[in-house]
Amino acid sequence: MGEDKWPIVRQTLIQELDTEFGMYSSIFGIAEANEIRYALQVTSGGPVGEDKRMIFPNMAYIISIAYKVVFMTLAVSGCNTFFPLRGSHNPPALHKRMAVAFVNKNHFIGVVLRDGHPMPLTAHMWPYKRRDEAKTWVDPYFA
């Protein structure tokens, strides 16, 4: 989707968060889950303040589940790969991979990675917080 589709993306993430709020609040804590929901709610079409910016790494988990993607974040402070915390995976050939880079200390941009690119380390909470049915998401990448 293009940059103009951000309201749809935010609404999809809110729906995912609301659907599994119990899971997210047990992972992030109730206060953090509510903060994420607040940050996702935007009513105007203009620029948003810092309180409405994407909160990583926690929103990355929600993105990976909502869109059933392997989601990678690239930043000077560190890079991570986020696999969905729930749900079984598609065959590896059908996996969708998305990557964003954090630039200028305030903005994420989409990045297109070439086939065979190296993968950042798996986000630290994934092995401990994922549901059993999601454990095979990593198999194609670490076999």
**Domain chopping of the chain, boundaries:** 3-142
* Overall CATH class of domain 3-142: alpha beta
Query: pLDDT-derived band of residue 92, with 50, 70 and 90 as boundaries?
Result: low
Q: pLDDT-derived band of residue 143, with 50, 70 and 90 as boundaries?
A: low
Continuous H helices in the chain? 6-19, 21-28, 30-40, 58-66, 126-129, 139-142
Q: Tell whether the model's pLDDT for residue 2 goes beyond 90.
A: no
Mean pLDDT of the chain: 86
pLDDT at 30: 95
- Range 20-43 average pLDDT: 92
Could you tell me if 80 and 87 are in contact, meaning their C-beta atoms sit under 8 angstroms apart? no
Q: Band the pLDDT of 66: cuts 50, 70, 90.
A: very high
The count of other CB atoms within 10 Å of the CB of residue 66 is 20
| Alpha carbons 93 and 87: distance in angstroms, whole number | 17
Read off the pLDDT band of 62 (50, 70, 90): very high
Identify the bridge partners of residue 37 per DSSP, sorted by sequence position: none
Q: Is residue 61 pLDDT above 80, yes or no?
A: yes
Per-residue model confidence (pLDDT) at position 90: 67
- pLDDT of residue 73 exceeding 70: yes
Measured distance CA(72)–CA(97) in Å, rounded: 8
pLDDT > 70 in the chain, percent: 89
